[in-house]
Amino acid sequence: MAFKIGEVYRISNRYLEIIHNKDIFSKPVSSGNGLHIIGMLNSYVSIPLYNSQCAIGVIFEQFEASKEREILFDPKNETIISKIRLIGTYNPISNKFKRGIDYFPTLDSEVLTVEEKELGAIYNSTIRPNEPSLELGNDIYFNDLKIFADPNILFGKHLAVFGNTGSGKSCTVTSILQGVYLEKNRLNNTKSKALKTIIIDSNEEYSEIFNDSDNIKPDWLLLKDFSDLELSHKDLSFYELTQLLKEESPNVIPYLKSAVKKLKKTENVDEKIYYEFSELQIEIENAVPLDNRGNRDNFTIGFLKHIIMRINHFCSDQRFNAVFNKTGNTIEDFLNSDKEQVLILSLKVANDILALFVYMISKSIFNYKTKYANREKDNILLVLEEAHRYISTDSTDQMNNYYIEKLAREGRKFGVNLMVSTQRPSEVSHTVISQCNSLIVHKITNNRDLDFIRNTIEYDDKSQIDLLTSLKQQQALVLGEAFAFSSLIKIAEAKPLPHSETPRIFKKE
CB of 458 closer than 8 Å to CB of 472:
no
- Which positions ≥6 away from 184 have C-beta within 8 Å? none
Total residues binding Mg ion (CB under 5 A): 3
Strands (E), 155-304: 159-162, 187-188, 195-201, 221-225
Burial (0-12, 13-18, 19+ Cβ within 10 Å), 223: middle
- Closest CB 128 distance from Mg ion, rounded Å: 32
Picking from 341, 394, 128, 120, the residue whose alpha carbon sits closest to that of residue 220 is: 341
- Which positions ≥6 away from 281 have C-beta within 8 Å? 308, 311, 312, 315
Burial (0-12, 13-18, 19+ Cβ within 10 Å), 251: exposed
Residue 382's DSSP bridge partners are: 198, 418
Residue 325: name its binding partner from Mg ion, ligand ATP, none (Cβ under 5 to 8 Å by kind).
none
Residue 165: name its binding partner from ligand ATP, Mg ion, none (Cβ under 5 to 8 Å by kind).
ligand ATP
Residue 353: name its binding partner from Mg ion, ligand ATP, none (Cβ under 5 to 8 Å by kind).
none
Residue 474: name its binding partner from Mg ion, ligand ATP, none (Cβ under 5 to 8 Å by kind).
ligand ATP
Alpha carbon 439 to its chain centroid, in Å, reads: 7
170 binds Mg ion (CB under 5 A): yes
165 binds ligand ATP (CB under 6 A): yes
- Closest CB 169 distance from Mg ion, rounded Å: 5
Residue 39: name its binding partner from ligand ATP, Mg ion, none (Cβ under 5 to 8 Å by kind).
none
- How many whole angstroms separate alpha carbon 311 and alpha carbon 182? 44
- How many whole angstroms separate alpha carbon 464 and alpha carbon 499? 31
- What is the three-class DSSP state of 342? strand
Residue 55: name its binding partner from Mg ion, ligand ATP, none (Cβ under 5 to 8 Å by kind).
none
Using the minimum distance from each CB to ligand ATP, give the nearer residue, 197 or 423. Answer: 423
Total residues binding ligand ATP (CB under 6 A): 19
**Interface segment toward ligand ATP; rule CB under 6 A; list 31-39, 145-153, 352-360, 497-505:** 497-505
- Closest CB 14 distance from Mg ion, rounded Å: 39
- How many whole angstroms separate alpha carbon 509 and alpha carbon 474? 29
- How many whole angstroms separate alpha carbon 34 and alpha carbon 141? 7
- Closest CB 214 distance from ligand ATP, rounded Å: 21
Candidates 43, 170, 341, 400; binder of ligand ATP (CB under 6 A) is 170
- Closest CB 495 distance from ligand ATP, rounded Å: 7
**Interface segment toward ligand ATP; rule CB under 6 A; list 33-41, 247-255, 257-265, 486-494:** 486-494
Residue type, 394: D
Binding mask 423-442 for ligand ATP (x = CB under 6 A): x-------------------
Phi, psi of 489 (to 5 degrees): -135, 160
Candidates 501, 506, 508, 509; binder of ligand ATP (CB under 6 A) is 501
Residue 2: name its binding partner from ligand ATP, Mg ion, none (Cβ under 5 to 8 Å by kind).
none
Residue 263: name its binding partner from ligand ATP, Mg ion, none (Cβ under 5 to 8 Å by kind).
none
Interior/surface letters 105-124, b for 16+ CB within 10 angstroms, e for the rest: beeebbbbbbbeebbbbbbb
Residue 486: name its binding partner from Mg ion, ligand ATP, none (Cβ under 5 to 8 Å by kind).
none
CA separation, residue 462 to residues 141, 422, 459, 468, 471 (Å): 20, 20, 6, 11, 16
**Sign (positive or negative) of CA dihedral 40, 134, 479, 53:** negative
175 binds ligand ATP (CB under 6 A): yes
- Closest CB 480 distance from ligand ATP, rounded Å: 19
474 binds Mg ion (CB under 5 A): no
109 binds Mg ion (CB under 5 A): no
CB of 419 closer than 8 Å to CB of 384:
yes
Helices 253-264 + 298-316 axis angle, to 10: 60
CB of 111 closer than 8 Å to CB of 6:
yes
**Interface segment toward ligand ATP; rule CB under 6 A; list 166-174, 342-350, 357-365, 405-413:** 166-174
- How many whole angstroms separate alpha carbon 453 and alpha carbon 474? 19
Pairing assessment for the beta strands 34-37 and 28-31 based on DSSP bridges: antiparallel
166 binds ligand ATP (CB under 6 A): yes
- Closest CB 79 distance from ligand ATP, rounded Å: 40
CB of 423 closer than 8 Å to CB of 163:
yes
- Closest CB 500 distance from Mg ion, rounded Å: 5
126 binds Mg ion (CB under 5 A): no
**Interface segment toward ligand ATP; rule CB under 6 A; list 103-111, 165-173, 337-345, 477-485:** 165-173
Binding mask 459-478 for ligand ATP (x = CB under 6 A): --------------xx----
Phi, psi of 29 (to 5 degrees): -130, 150
Candidates 57, 163, 179, 425; binder of ligand ATP (CB under 6 A) is 163
- What is the three-class DSSP state of 376? coil
Residue 168: name its binding partner from ligand ATP, Mg ion, none (Cβ under 5 to 8 Å by kind).
ligand ATP
Binding footprint of ligand ATP on the chain (CB under 6 A):
163, 165-172, 175, 423, 473-474, 491, 493-494, 497, 500-501
Binding footprint of Mg ion on the chain (CB under 5 A):
169-170, 500
